Amino acid sequence: MTGAIITAIAFPLIGAAVARLAGGGPRFLLGVGTTGFVLYATMLLRLPMLPVMIVLLLAAIAVLASFPRRAPRESVQTSAAATVVTIAPVVFLLFASAIIPLRDYDGRAFWVLKAKAIANERMVDGPFFRGEHGPNPKNEYPLLVPIANAAVMVAGGSSDDLAIRWMYVLALGSFALHARRYVGAWPAALIPWLPQFAISPEGGALSAYNDIFLAAFAGCAFFELVERASPFRFGVWLSFLVLTKNEGLPFAVLLLAAAVVIWRRRLPAALPAFGAALCTLLAWRSRVEPTDDDPLILLLSTLPERTERLLPAINGYLAYAGDLEQWGLFWIAVALAVILLAMRRDWRTLAVPLILMIGMSAVYIAAYMVTTWQLQDHLAASADRLLMHLVAPALYLIGSAARPRAG
Amino acid sequence: MRLAPRIAFAALFLSLARFTVPGIATAVREAIELRPLPVEERRVEMFGPFYEGVMKAAATLSPDEPIAFLVGDDFGTGLFMNFYLFPRRTALYADVDSYRAGQDAPERIILAGGEVRFIAYAEARAAEMGTSHVAAPLEPSAETAMQFDIPLVSSGDGPIRDRYTTEAVMVNAGDQEATVTIRMNPAGRVATVTLAPGEMRTWNDLVYQLFSTLDAGWLRVQADQPLRSRFWFVNRAVPDADVLPHATFARSFRIPHRAGSRIWLLNPHDRRLPIRLGEGEHFLDPRTLVPIEWPVDLVVTSEAELYVYQSWRDASGATYFHWPEGS
CB contact under 8 A, B83 and A113: yes
Tell me the average pLDDT across B301-316.
94
Strand, coil or helix: what is A335?
helix
CB contact under 8 A, B28 and A92: yes
- Identify the pLDDT of residue A293: 75
Q: Which one of B12, B19, B87 has the shortest CB-CB distance to A190? A: B12
Under 8 Å CB pairs connecting chains A and B tally to 121
Contacts of residue A189 in chain B, CB cutoff 8 Å?
Answer: 13
Question: Cβ distance A72 to B3 under 8 Å?
Answer: no
- Give the pairing of strands B118-119 and B108-111: antiparallel
By C-alpha distance, the chain A residue nearest B40 is A101
What's at B105, amino acid-wise? A
Contacts of residue A113 in chain B, CB cutoff 8 Å?
Answer: 79, 82-83, 86
3-class secondary structure for A235-302? HHHHHHHHHHCCCHHHHHHHHHHHHHHHHHHHHHHHHHHHHHHHHHHHHHHCCCCCCCCCCHHHHHHH
DSSP, res A70: P
Q: Which one of A108, A134, A326 has the shortest CB-CB distance to B80? A: A108
- Give the pairing of strands B90-93 and B108-111: unpaired
Residue B142: count other Cβ atoms within 10 Å of its Cβ: 7
Please list, residue by residue across A14-33, b when 16 or more beta carbons sit within 10 angstroms of its beta carbon and e when fewer do: bbbbbbbebebbbbbbbbbb
- Identify the pLDDT of residue B167: 98
What residues contact A380, with CB distance under 8 A and at least 6 apart? none
Distance from CA of A259 to the nearest CA of B (A): 31
DSSP, res A72: P
- pLDDT band for position B101 (50/70/90)? confident
pLDDT tens per residue across span B227-275: 999 999 999 999 999 999 999 999 999 999 999 999 999 999 999 999 9
Contacts of residue B66 in chain A, CB cutoff 8 Å?
Answer: 134
CB contact under 8 A, B12 and A95: no
Contacts of residue B5 in chain A, CB cutoff 8 Å?
Answer: 401-402
Task: Tell me how far apart the alpha carbons of residues B304 and A306 are, in angstroms, rounded to a whole number.
Answer: 74
By C-alpha distance, the chain A residue nearest B2 is A404
- Identify the pLDDT of residue A74: 59
Contacts of residue B4 in chain A, CB cutoff 8 Å?
Answer: none
Q: How many Cα atoms are found within 13 Å in the side-chain-facing hemisphere of B86?
A: 28
Distance from CA of A100 to the nearest CA of B (A): 6
Strand, coil or helix: what is A39?
helix
Beta-sheet strands, E only, within B196-272: 200-203, 216-235, 240-244, 250-255, 262-266
Task: Tell me how far apart the alpha carbons of residues B72 and B228 are, in angstroms, rounded to a whole number.
Answer: 38
CB contact under 8 A, A190 and B16: yes
Per-residue pLDDT of chain A (407 residues; tens, 9 = 90+): 788 888 999 999 999 999 999 999 999 999 999 999 999 999 999 999 999 999 999 999 999 999 877 766 656 667 899 999 999 999 999 999 999 999 999 999 999 999 999 999 999 999 999 988 888 999 999 999 999 999 999 999 999 999 999 999 999 999 999 999 999 999 999 999 999 999 999 999 999 999 999 999 999 999 999 999 999 999 999 999 999 999 999 999 999 999 999 998 899 999 999 999 999 999 999 999 988 877 878 888 888 888 999 999 999 999 999 999 999 999 999 999 999 999 999 999 999 999 999 999 999 999 999 988 899 999 999 999 999 999 999 999 999 998 876 54
What residues contact A22, with CB distance under 8 A and at least 6 apart? A30, A230, A232, A233, A236
Task: Tell me how far apart the alpha carbons of residues A197 and A204 are, in angstroms, rounded to a whole number.
Answer: 4
DSSP codes, B254-311? EE---TT-EEEEE--SSS-EEEEETTEEEEE-TT-EEEE--SS-EEEEEEEEEEEEEE
Task: Tell me how far apart the alpha carbons of residues A85 and B198 are, in angstroms, rounded to a whole number.
Answer: 79
Contacts of residue B90 in chain A, CB cutoff 8 Å?
Answer: 134-135
- pLDDT band for position B42 (50/70/90)? very high
**Angle formed at CA A352 by CA A350 and CA A353, multiple of 5 degrees:** 70
What residues contact A208, with CB distance under 8 A and at least 6 apart? A102, A104, A106, A107, A108, A111, A112, A149, A161, A164, A165, A168
DSSP, res A223: H
pLDDT tens per residue across span A131-189: 888 889 999 999 999 999 999 999 999 999 999 999 999 999 999 999 999 999 999 99
Numbered residues of chain B with Cβ closer than 8 Å to any chain A Cβ: 1-2, 5, 8-9, 11-13, 15-20, 23-24, 27-28, 30-31, 34-35, 39, 42-43, 46-47, 66, 76, 78-80, 82-83, 86-87, 89-92
Q: Which one of B11, B31, B76 has the shortest CB-CB distance to A96? A: B31
Question: Which of B12, B37, B45 is the best mutation test for A, with the most CBs of A within 10 A?
Answer: B12
Contacts of residue B58 in chain A, CB cutoff 8 Å?
Answer: none
Q: Which one of B11, B82, B87 has the shortest CB-CB distance to A120? A: B87
Residue B288: count other Cβ atoms within 10 Å of its Cβ: 18
- Backbone CA torsion sign across A78, A82, A86, A88: positive
Tell me the average pLDDT across B80-93.
91
Tell me the average pLDDT across B69-96.
89
**Closest residue by Cα to residue B57 from B73, B46, B68:** B68
- Identify the pLDDT of residue A404: 75
- Phi, psi dihedrals of residue B167, rounded to the nearest 5°: -100, 150
CB contact under 8 A, B24 and A117: no
Please list, residue by residue across B251-278, b when 16 or more beta carbons sit within 10 angstroms of its beta carbon and e when fewer do: eebebeeeeebebbbbbbeeeebebebe
Distance from CA of B237 to the nearest CA of A (A): 27
CB contact under 8 A, A92 and B24: yes
Question: Which of B2, B14, B20 is the best mutation test for A, with the most CBs of A within 10 A?
Answer: B20
ipTM above threshold 0.85:
yes
- Identify the pLDDT of residue A72: 62
pLDDT exceeds 80 at position B51: yes
What residues contact A81, with CB distance under 8 A and at least 6 apart? none
pLDDT exceeds 80 at position B216: yes
Q: List the beta bridge partners of residue B192.
A: B181
Distance from CA of B188 to the nearest CA of A (A): 41
Contacts of residue A191 in chain B, CB cutoff 8 Å?
Answer: none
Distance from CA of A384 to the nearest CA of B (A): 15
By C-alpha distance, the chain B residue nearest A206 is B27
Question: Which of B15, B24, B32 is the best mutation test for A, with the most CBs of A within 10 A?
Answer: B24
Question: Cβ distance A212 to A26 under 8 Å?
Answer: no
Q: Which one of A120, A137, A329 has the shortest CB-CB distance to B11? A: A329
Contacts of residue B39 in chain A, CB cutoff 8 Å?
Answer: 101, 160, 162
Question: Cβ distance B2 to A404 under 8 Å?
Answer: yes
- Identify the pLDDT of residue B103: 77
- Phi, psi dihedrals of residue B225, rounded to the nearest 5°: -135, 155
- Identify the pLDDT of residue A4: 86
Please list, residue by residue across A340-369, b when 16 or more beta carbons sit within 10 angstroms of its beta carbon and e when fewer do: bbeeeebeebbebbbbbbebbbebbbbbbb
Distance from CA of A402 to the nearest CA of B (A): 6
CB contact under 8 A, A92 and B80: no
- Phi, psi dihedrals of residue B284, rounded to the nearest 5°: -110, 130
pLDDT tens per residue across span B247-259: 999 999 999 999 9
Q: Across all residues in chain B, what is the average pLDDT?
A: 93
Q: Which one of A116, A135, A195 has the shortest CB-CB distance to B19? A: A195
DSSP, res B246: P
Task: Tell me how far apart the alpha carbons of residues A355 and A9 are, in angstroms, rounded to a whole number.
Answer: 37
Contacts of residue B87 in chain A, CB cutoff 8 Å?
Answer: 116-117, 120, 133
CB contact under 8 A, B27 and A328: no
By C-alpha distance, the chain A residue nearest B6 is A402
Q: Which one of B1, B47, B92 has the shortest CB-CB distance to A135? A: B92
Strand, coil or helix: what is B28?
helix
**Closest residue by Cα to residue B66 from B97, B37, B88, B35:** B88
CB contact under 8 A, B16 and A135: no
What residues contact A373, with CB distance under 8 A and at least 6 apart? A294, A381
